[in-house]
Amino acid sequence: MDGSFSLANEVMGTSGVMRDSDGEWLWGFSGYHGPGSALLAELLDLKIGLNQAWEANFQRIICESDSLEAIQLLENHIGVVTRVVSCLKLEVSELLSRNWEVRLLHVPHDANMVANYLAKLWNRGSPGVSYWDTPLLELADCPVSDRFS
């Protein structure tokens, strides 16, 4: 998962890739969400991805994010800054508390190249979220370790 935020126009984007236990692509998403902040984008990204995993009836997932701040916020290691962030934290926390096993894992930005690429696609379209059932051709240049693991 990778949320993005443009300082120039203060708008948010989200993206994520769902893979099976063998690292094979299940689906990907990216979206444009209007004004916000970097932390809000990361939390919104987690909410979208977790919702999709829940709807797909996954029982055990590892959710990778390059936002240590978002993970620490969800694990109650840092305080909430704004009311909007607090509300979204509650929504994501509710998803995490459901009857399934979710492990939040912080990964370096460089290990999240596919989601990073998808995060840049949101500025090509209109508000909303787009989903892909197959990897985009442009992702062929990403390292094998990120594409398939």
pTM: 0.79
Q: Residues near 51 by Cβ (< 8 Å), separated by ≥ 6?
A: 95
Q: Quickly count: other Cβ atoms within 10 Å of residue 32's Cβ.
A: 19
Q: Which two tokens stand for residue 116?
A: 């990073």
Burial (CB count <10 Å: 0-12, 13-18, 19+), residue 142: middle
Q: What is the pLDDT of residue 38?
A: 83
Q: Residues near 129 by Cβ (< 8 Å), separated by ≥ 6?
A: 14, 29, 30, 31, 48
Q: What is the pLDDT of residue 54?
A: 96
Which residues lie across from 106 on neighbouring strands?
A: 65
Q: Quickly count: other Cβ atoms within 10 Å of residue 64's Cβ.
A: 20
Altogether, the residues listed in the chain come to a count of 149
Instruction: Give the pLDDT band (50/70/90) at residue 1.
Output: low
pLDDT tens, position by position, 88-134: 999 999 999 999 999 999 987 676 666 666 666 655 556 778 787 87
Q: What is the pLDDT of residue 60?
A: 95
pLDDT tens, position by position, 11-57: 777 878 888 888 888 888 888 877 888 888 889 989 999 999 999 99
